[in-house]
Structure 1
């Protein structure tokens, strides 16, 4: 047992020596969209309320484990543009997220990209409505490929470039910070269906998985091109925790009125805890 505690202590000491800039206090800034902010997860913050920012999201959990001083400016609906520009919400305006960055910032996590070109919204709005027309086929994939080109996947390379630009913007403002780009956790199972929770046509499950995989690959590519950041994969570690996984689910299905509370198609508190475990392990990796 002493060996375990010694190893853990050594890890924290190493983290402090490599990340901390001010008298042993780690300065952590969390940027991102709703998969970072945690809409409807208790306890919601009011700065502004429209961001759906929970005091129990993964940045809060990671910050507590690190003993860090943290600033969370993530906001539901944020796209890469909201890093540099203010974001109006249904209740209040979120300042440009880059404003939270300081020259003394030690650690930055950023989870962004899924709202660019309204990518997530388009598929969530359209796909459930099309199941009735062809429940075993792939009507949503066909809808977005009428021109012969998959219009959803076609924008993903541009999202990758935008994420790369975001990473560059972070480095300019916080040149000493360790920067981690956070991928998206798995929403759908790799096989099987659960139309009550995820009311998509059976044939669209594989396509929707391929869209999320392409988005995560684009974020990883942005990190590689940036050359001075790290990618945190949540898709792999969330296997078995998709919205069809019952009590093991990290992600909610279509119903945002169930208990425990979480926005539709967004992480539960259990999801935030699972995501926090992955992020923490990578941030503290020697």
Structure 2
């Protein structure tokens, strides 16, 4: 999804007097909590780093991994930030590429994902509020042997249109689908059409990856569930403020995007990492089990409508499973 450092910030909230005793105490508590979270994440990274090697010989199965993608890959606001330029890409040390790299004991790893990236930013520079990210495919080398690609949600502004429009329309018809109606013109769902076009662009990106790194194992990473699975009757307007009918519609748009990405992978020599089965029951409405942050950004958890650390771990786990299935002997 397209992100910026000012997204979802309440500019009208009253300012607190940080010189007051209670404010100083609160600030100390925030610092202690930040330090605790940082220690836990460092512990997690250390644990992953001593996981069993990926091959029986004790050597890494892959030598050069490159992670490409948007904010569902970079992990904005998930503690702790990764100090790599440009800072506007908002990469986290707890995103799935970093976790996967630790699990696989890689010889070399580059994460060039960037919040707000589209398929076009794979071959063109991307400007962010804090610097310009070079074309992501420039990180590829002939010797690159593992590539993950998580892209498509920002193309033609699909995800941004949904989260930027649907909450504001809920009051019109809380049990209906005012957002779907908003994006339907002459009987045509404009976002569904945009998603279909995205699949073709993703295919072109995969062709370019194959040309630059012809020996790489390439995985297209699907998007995890944001909304509850249709038919469950689950809603959570305080967390995910969509009209009831729009929850199912948004799920259909995301499912269609994942289907388009799966088709692109199948037709262009890549594997697809299907996050929908794994993320069942981990949508934004799932409370403590949620892999997706709700409508409010939390600088100690994740940006609104984006994966948290648990969600990133879930994605890394599914990528690992996909790789293991691909190398399993056939009978």
TM-score (norm 1): 0.91
User: What are the superposed Cα offsets for residues 63-101 of structure 1, whole Å, 9 maximum, x if unpaired?
Assistant: 001111210000000000000001000111111001100
In 1, Cα distance between equivalents of 2:195 and 2:290: 27
Establish whether residue 229 from structure 1 lines up as the match of residue 270 from structure 2. Answer: yes
CA distance in structure 1 between the partners assigned to 2:135 and 2:78 by the alignment: 23
- Aligned mates of 2:144, 2:74 — CA distance in 1: 20
Is residue 180–residue 231 contact of structure 1 (8 Å, CA) maintained in 2?
Answer: yes
What whole-Å deviation, never above 9, does each CA across 1:199-222 have from its counterpart, x for those lacking one? Answer: 000111110110000000000010
Provide the aligned length of Structure 1 versus Structure 2. 271
**2: CA distance, partners of 1:261 / 1:11:** 30
Deviation at 1:13, TM superposition (A): 3.5
Match of 2:323 in 1: 283
Q: 2:97 aligns with which of 59, 67, 72?
A: 59
Sort the Cα spacing of 1:42 and 1:220 in 2 relative to 1 into closer, same or farther, 3 A.
Answer: same
Which of 1 and 2 has greater Rg? 2
The change in CA–CA distance for 1:15 and 1:83 in structure 2 (over 3 A counts) is: farther
- Whether the 8 Å contact between 1:183 and 1:234 is mirrored in structure 2 is yes
Rounded to whole Å, the distance in 2 between the matches of 1:10 and 1:74 is 25
**1:48 correspondence with 2:86:** yes
Q: Distance in 2 between matches of 1:238 and 1:48?
A: 30
* Equivalent of 1:199 in 241, 252, 274: 241
- RMSD over aligned Cα atoms: 1.7
Conservation of the 8 A alpha-carbon contact between 1:11 and 1:284: no
Instruction: Summarize the Cα distance change of 1:62–1:10 in structure 2 as closer, same or farther, 3 Å threshold.
Output: closer
1:92-115 CA-to-partner distances (Å, cap 9, x unmatched) read 111100110000001000000000
Q: Tell me how far 1:149 sits from its aligned partner.
A: 0.3
Structure 1 residues without counterparts, runs of 5 or longer: 1-7, 21-25
Q: List per-residue Cα deviations over 1:23-63 (Å, max 9, x = no partner).
A: xxx21000000000000011112411110101110000000
Deviation string for 1:4-27 (max 9, x for gaps)? Answer: xxxx9795248968x54xxxxx21
Deviation at 1:261, TM superposition (A): 1.7
- Offset at residue 146 of structure 1 (A): 3.2
Q: Indicate which of 88, 92, 107 corresponds to 2:127.
A: 88
Which residue of 2 is the match for residue 268 of structure 1? 308
Matched, 1:119 2:158: yes
Structure 2, unpaired ranges of 5+: 1-50
Structure 1, residues 176-206: CA drift from partner, whole Å, max 9, x if none? 1000000000001113100011000011111
- Please, what TM-score do these two structures have when normalized by structure 2? 0.79
Conserved 8 A contact 2:77-2:298 = no
- Matches of residues 244-255 of structure 1 in structure 2 within 5 Å? 244-255=285-296
Partner of 2:67: 30
Comparing 139-148 and 215-224, the one that deviates more: 139-148
- Offset at residue 156 of structure 1 (A): 1.5
Specify the SS of the correspondent of 1:236: helix
